[in-house]
Chains A and B, each alone.
Chain A
Amino acid sequence: MAGSLREIVQVGEEVQTYDLLLLVGEASKVAVGIPASVTLLSPWISNVSYFLGATGLGLSIPNVEFGRNDTVDLLQLIMTLMQNSQSSVRIATMEPNEGKYGDRVYQVWELNFLLKAAEHGARIYFYVNPASQRSIMHPKFLLTSLGVVFGSFNITRAGRYSNIEDGNYASCLSPVYFEKKQRVEDVLKKCEEARISDLEDTLKGFTGTS
């Protein structure tokens, strides 16, 4: 019967539960001394909140502190994962610019999140649109060492909680996982890594502070 397991499964409105489970899985690895590996790829990204209690998830792993609160945001999860110095968290998104969001505030929020994640050891990548092309980076992946969620959901509050979208999940024991992992690496190759100082400068540009 195990042979009849599906290689990918449909993910609908419960996408945030898959995210949370994958990230908690990585946090559990960190708790027992195994480094985590997470790559977030989304044209628009924000510090999404996850609700442990509301999704009925019980968590009592030593050294995983966030299980005691109902809400945990992406940044807190990243901070937990980065407690292991060997962990790898990579975040790739579209280059910040005036036209990325309708309202500049959202861009500031995104940059704030990326800066803080970088300060805790995450590596940040921006897809810079070549001047000669009109293409944008549009795939969405949440890839961890345990599985991958992919589809049309942005890693934003609207994408994860409100919109009607489509997506799939594949476990790391599925061949599909390796295809998706390769795809993520291909996309990352087209991105440029941003240093903390770059992020600070960009943020200053949007907030107008010196």
Chain B
Amino acid sequence: MSIKEIVQRCDELILLIASKLNEDSSLTNAIATLSELKKTLKDSDEDALQQALRDREKVRKAQEIVDLVEKRRANRTLAYIDDIIAVHPELKYPMKIPTKLFESERVKKTLVICPAATHGKERVDEISIDEMMSQLFPGLLTHRYGRLMKVPVGGWSPRYRVSPAGVSVITDENDAFDIDRDELPPDYPAGSQREKVYVPQEMKLKGVEDYARPKYQLEETEPIEPEEAESETYLRFCTRCGAIHDGDESCSCGSAYLTYATPPKTYPLIWNVVRMKDEQPMVSDPLFLRMFEKVAFGHKVEVMKVLHGFERSYMGQLWRVRYDKLFGESFQTDGILFRVSTSLISQSYQKIKVEDPILLRDLKLLCYISTLDEVAGPSFGLTFNQSLAVVKSILLRAITSTGRVPITAEELDRVLEQFVDRPDELRHALGDLSSTNQLNLGLRDQDVDRLSSGPLKEAVRRVRDEACFEAFVSDIFVHSLKHYIQTSAMVLLGVDEKDIRCHFRRGTREILVYDNLPEGNGCAETLRKLARIPLSERIQTLRKSVEKDIPVALPARDFYSILEEFLTGCRANQVDSVYWGLIRDPKTAELVERSSADDETRQEVLQELRSRNLDEFSISYLDALLRYGSHYTILKSVRDEELFLFRLAPEALLSRLTLDEKKKISPGMDPKDLDKSVLGKIQDSLEMCIDGCPVCLLASFCDMGVLSVRYLVSRRVLETAYRLIRDNVLITVGSEPREALLQKATELLETQGTLYVRGSYGDAKDVLELGFRLLGQPIRDGRAYLNNFSCDPDNRFILKMEVS
């Protein structure tokens, strides 16, 4: 009972007693006592009292644990964590470890109500809002609680906003925050200047049993069943708009139902707004001073997370649904800001333009896809996959008609221009793509007519604008770097994305790493401390650790050295290049074929690989790749400049293969299924790290969306930028006499604080001698140290030196 309620009760009693005064005058004393109690209670601080009660409870719990530990110590028995948990006052022992034990109490939770199975009780679960947003959001079909269930979303269409059913997610008007329309995703159809975002309090799941049928009960046409079907439960859904007919969603398209076994994959659309309100400058790294104009730590980082819809994909199609009611949470926490240098982005773009026409073409292709999505999405209702399919179909048509891929960005421009205002051409192209990959693109003839003269024309015009393209490259640069920074931070701290997040908004150059917990969880603080660790600090810690014989040491790599390692190149890509060399060699193909049946030959192949200076990890990776004999037939004729395009449009590679080659790739296949089977194998064989991928870039929780993120990253752009900043402080042994190189090296260390010495394996001795000549020399306010020995993919030896 609250104090307010007690006071109210006192008033009621006083009135009651007053009415009885005539019968007993001694009751006056009782009224006086009650009045006094009421006054005392009114004067008391309820919050302080509540706090005191909570504190007392904490002290009691702590005391119990301390008593237990002391008792164990006195009895000389071991104390295990189970023993500690056993005294937890809220727990019956033995029982599972409470989630609170490893999770901060500041994590906001949502109640999940699961419907009862037959006559059982409703099941109640508590999940964090993050988990709700990413794994249990409206629209998702889930087996999480055993049976197939769903968080209801209500009738919907992909072109308009939809209301999650009011009963499914319960919110509180007082637990919500406002967000400006400008801060929401550009394609979110906000109804007013400010939208309210609700913190979900409780959500009710819904069973879909009545609408699901086991296979033997199906009365309609044979279901289309993906090969990897996960269940025997069948539901119907609309291939035009993507609505799943499970008694919750409904659509009026009416004609395009498909019965399926595996529910389409559904992913949430989560948008973050992150702002830093205070900035404390942070120590930077001499090399990365050129990459980041500013690095700052702050205690006041405002985070707003907004769940604004979901995207659903099936058989090459993708639908985006926006919620009418936004869900999310907001809090203040610690974070670190990285502002990327404008001049570096610009220099990198210029370098790519001059020196790397293939990368330029690939970026332009991504720009076409992204711009078409931007133009055609809101105004035309095209989904991202449809925009992608339009560009793919144009590419496929161009490659099949000319027999070659466009090599330069200008050639690509000409290819796209050919389809502007030419709906017939575009219709043919889309038809070719659809018949090759046997996917329904969901575009009608009238859509294609309007597309060619409308959104496609506008997209081509925009991409031809140099400033627009450069801005897109800038976005790709900062977005890719964001993923590198987040991964580096997680590697350093040994945490995952539950603990630390990273944010970048398109059009800006700012990357914000922040703690994913109100008031912070220490990740950003630790990252600040370990961003760069000076050698003197390491030596002190090391000596203390050895002297006291305790294994306490600083992390082997600081943040900047991990980030640099990522930027020097993808290891998988390096191994892929070896694989690429092998697969193009007919002798290897023969050897691989033999080795699949003969282990002795396989060992010979592995031995040959070991002689190429490859480590065991790379060899086992190659060993796995080389087991697929079909890869040789697929990849033998693919050239370097074709790789990215075929990865994007594998149908183009399929169209180039002869019937004999197809039969060799998929022997024994029915002719009508041959192309489908070969296309699958082509996709498998191209699963290489060509320009970064969502796996290594850790694309989950990215504002870009799970399915489109891969079209907005480029490993190669960052590697170009890294080489640009590194080459400013790089000297190559053999390019000048030793004395001149020493002079230059000393100057670089003096002025830049860092230095790279590089040379071929043949020059390794000279590289080392130069590095060791500078070792320990007093420079600026420190000494020159060697801190990295490595080799680059071109078999060159590299030493890194720093002033520490």
Contacts and interface: CB of A to CB of B under 8 A. Distances in A.
Contacts of B533: 56
A54 B768 contact: no
Interface stretch (B471-479, B581-589, B653-661, B789-797): B789-797
B773 A5 contact: yes
Interface in B750-804: 750, 761, 764-765, 768-769, 771-778, 783, 785-791, 797, 800
Given A2-B742, A5-B777, A53-B557, A173 B769 contact: yes
B535 A60 contact: no
B558 A28 contact: no
A49 to B, nearest CB: 8
Contacts of A174: 773
A98 interface: no
B772 A22 contact: yes
A54 B783 contact: no
A53 B545 CA distance: 13
A186 interface: no
A129 interface: no
Contact of A56 (B557, B761, B791): B557
A56 B538 contact: yes
Contacts of A10: 776
A169 B790 contact: no
Query: Chain B interface mostly helix, strand, loop or mixed?
Result: helix
Given A5-B742, A62-B613, A62-B614, A169 B776 contact: yes
Contact of B545 (A54, A57, A147): A54
Given A34-B764, A54-B553, A169 B775 contact: yes
Contacts, number: 142
A58 B787 contact: yes
B535 A14 contact: yes
A25 B772 contact: yes
B556 A5 contact: no
Contacts of B558: 56
Contacts of B555: 53
A162 interface: yes
Given A1-B746, A28-B797, A147-B772, A161 B543 contact: yes
Interface string A16-41: 11100110110011001110000000
Interface string A131-155: 0000000000000001100000000
B175 interface: no
A152 to B, nearest CB: 17
B556 A6 contact: no
Of A2, A25, A29, A56, which is in contact with the most chain B CB atoms at under 10 Å from its CB? A56
Contact of B746 (A5, A24, A56): A5
A106 to B, nearest CB: 16
B554 interface: yes
Given A17-B785, A58-B800, A171 B769 contact: yes
Given A53-B556, A56-B538, A169-B775, A146 B769 contact: yes
A162 B791 contact: no
B539 interface: yes
B75 interface: no
A2 B743 contact: yes
Nearest to A10: B776
A206 interface: no
A1 B750 contact: yes
B450 to A, nearest CB: 55
B556 A70 contact: yes
B743 A61 contact: no
Nearest to A15: B539
Nearest to A4: B746
B430 to A, nearest CB: 48
B24 interface: no
B547 A161 contact: yes
A52 interface: yes
Contacts of A33: 761
Interface of A: 1-2, 5-6, 9-11, 13-14, 16-18, 21-22, 24-25, 28-29, 32-34, 51-63, 70, 146-147, 157, 161-162, 169, 171-174
23 contacts: A1-B743, A1-B750, A5-B774, A13-B540, A21-B772, A21-B786, A22-B772, A25-B768, A28-B797, A33-B761, A54-B542, A54-B545, A55-B539, A56-B556, A56-B558, A57-B786, A58-B787, A58-B800, A59-B790, A62-B613, A62-B614, A147-B772, A172-B772
Interface of B: 533, 535-536, 538-543, 545-547, 553-558, 561, 565, 613-615, 739, 742-743, 745-747, 750, 761, 764-765, 768-769, 771-778, 783, 785-791, 797, 800
Given A5-B742, A17-B539, A60-B789, 15 more contacts: A1-B750, A2-B742, A9-B783, A13-B540, A25-B768, A25-B789, A53-B555, A53-B556, A55-B538, A56-B535, A56-B556, A57-B786, A58-B789, A58-B790, A173-B772
